[in-house]
C-alpha cells in the first residue's frame, strides 16, 4: 500500500503514466478555475479573488510541467549511467503531480481574501494544512519519479533532486508571472 501511494512508478511509467498525469493536470486546472485558485509554481498554490481565465489555468499547468521536466531530464542524462527515456521521465513526473488535484479541491474551502486575523479560522488553518500535506506528498512522489525514471539512488540523488526542484520552482514561477497581464 505504501509503495503504491509513494512509489507507483515501480508499476506504472511511460506513455500510460503520461496520459494519466496530463489528465490529472487538466483536472487540477479546471478545479482551480472553478474554485478561483491557481498554481503559479511547482510548489505554489494561491487563491485569486476574481479568478483567472481558463486558458491561464491550463497554461500554468503546462508551464509548470515543462519547467519540471527539463531540469530533471537534463540531470538524468548527466548523472545517470542508465539509458533513460524521455517518456519515462515525463510520464512519472506528470503522474507525480496527481496530488495537486486534491490541493485544488481544498481551494474551494479557502477564502479568497484574508484581511485580518479574524479571517483565519480553525477551518482555514485545517484546510491549508491538508493542502500542505498534499504538496509534501507530491514532492515525495516527484523524488521517486526521478529516482525510478533516471535510476539515480543514494545520497547523491537527494542533492540532485533538491537542486532540480529549485530550478524548476524558480523557472516556473518566473514563466507563470509572464502570463498575468497586470504583472
Partner 1 sequence: MSKKLPHICPSCSSLLNVKSLICSHCDTEVSGNYNLPVLASLTEEDQQFIISFVKCSGSLKIMAQDLGLSYPTVRNMLDDVILKLGVVQRKSTGEI
CB contact set of 33 (below 8 Å; sequence gap of 6+): 51, 52, 54, 57
**Binding test (CB under 8 A) with partner 1, winner from 37, 57, 92, 106:** 92
- Decide whether 22 or 104 has the Cβ nearer to partner 1: 22
Contact (CB, 8 A) for 123 and 109 = yes
Nearer to partner 1, 43 or 148 (CB): 148
Show contacts with partner 1 in window 24-83 (CB under 8 A). Answer: 81-83
Query: If binding is defined by CB under 8 A, does position 151 make contact with partner 1?
Result: yes
Give the nearer residue to partner 1 in terms of CB position, either 61 or 142: 142
User: In whole angstroms, how close is the CB of 90 to partner 1 at the nearest point?
Assistant: 12
Continuous H helices in 11-154: 14-34, 54-79, 86-96, 99-106, 122-150
The footprint of partner 1 (CB under 8 A) covers: 9-14, 17, 81-85, 88, 92, 148-149, 151
Amino acid at each position: 500500500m505504501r509503495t503504491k501511494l509513494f512509489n507507483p512508478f515501480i508499476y506504472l511509467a511511460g506513455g500510460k503514466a503520461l496520459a494519466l498525469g496530463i489528465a490529472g493536470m487538466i483536472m487540477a486546472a479546471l478545479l482551480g478555475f472553478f474554485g478561483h485558485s491557481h498554481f503559479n509554481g511547482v510548489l505554489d498554490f494561491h487563491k485569486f479573488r476574481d479568478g483567472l481565465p481558463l486558458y491561464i489555468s491550463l497554461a500554468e499547468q503546462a508551464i509548470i510541467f515543462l519547467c519540471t521536466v527539463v531540469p530533471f531530464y537534463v540531470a538524468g542524462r548527466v548523472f545517470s549511467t542508465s539509458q533513460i527515456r524521455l517518456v519515462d521521465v515525463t510520464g512519472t513526473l506528470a503522474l507525480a503531480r496527481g496530488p495537486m488535484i486534491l490541493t485544488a479541491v481544498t481551494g474551494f474551502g479557502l477564502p479568497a481574501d484574508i484581511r485580518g486575523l479574524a479571517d483565519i479560522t480553525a477551518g482555514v488553518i485545517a484546510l491549508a494544512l491538508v493542502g500542505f500535506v498534499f504538496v509534501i506528498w507530491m514532492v515525495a512522489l516527484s523524488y521517486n519519479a526521478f529516482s525510478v525514471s533516471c535510476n539515480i539512488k543514494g545520497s547523491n540523488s537527494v542533492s540532485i533532486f533538491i537542486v532540480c526542484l529549485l530550478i524548476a520552482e524558480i523557472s516556473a514561477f518566473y514563466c507563470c508571472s509572464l502570463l498575468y497581464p497586470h504583472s
